[in-house]
Amino acid sequence: MKKKASAKVKRSAPKPQKSKTVKARGKTAVALPNQPVKKPALADNPLFAQAVQNYEAGLRLMQERKFERAKAVFQKVAAGPSKELAERVAVHLNAIQQALARTSTNFKSSEEHYDYAVALMNQGDYDGAREHLEKMAKQQPKSDYVWYGLAALNALQGRAEEAMKHLSEAIRLNPGSRIQARNDSDFQNMLDDPRFTELLYPENTEAPARRK
């Protein structure tokens, strides 16, 4: 008997796979890869950049033991947009307060104490400056520079009556205070007051000598 020829199996070519689509309630939507939404970085905020600069400046001032200036700079950082920086400066501000508490009571001389009060004045801490100057005025009532400092402080705060009173005392103790006040920008707000002008330039108020 002859063997039958085995039947050849016909193979069909593989069909190309179609991309699947996602159906959502009657609508057909093609699935796309997730694209995260770009959020504005805090570092791009110019206020944040300024806060970082102030923070670094405050650290340098602390290392130089310029505590009053460091305090003013750190307070700006605390009011800035960065919560993290604000938490950091809170620790530094506490350390500064403790350092100031120690230095404000341990002065080597009255001149050093006066310089400290002037530094407070220059930083805008008028209440702190007044506290120290008034304390010195009680302890050293014959120190002309203390009364001069009080006069300048009152002039900056717009207290004309007190400024002229204290400046008069400073001039009485040291006539050179009159010359110093003429060139002091702290008294700029009082230049239009005729009483202040008479105090600084008494020679202009004297009656001219009559001609014979």
**pLDDT per position as a tens digit, 50-85:** 889 999 999 998 888 778 788 888 998 998 888 898
pLDDT at 209: 47
Note the pTM of the prediction, 2 decimals: 0.52
pLDDT of residue 107: 79
- Residue 211: what pLDDT? 46
Greatest alpha-carbon pair distance for the chain in Å reads 172
pLDDT for the residue 68: 78
Measured between alpha carbons, how far is 92 from 144 in angstroms, rounded to an integer?
37
Q: Give the C-alpha separation, 102 to 111, whole Å.
A: 17
State whether residue 23 is helix, strand or coil: strand
**Phi, psi dihedral angles at 22 (to 5 degrees):** -100, 120
Segments of the chain scoring below 70 in pLDDT: 1-44, 102-105, 204-212
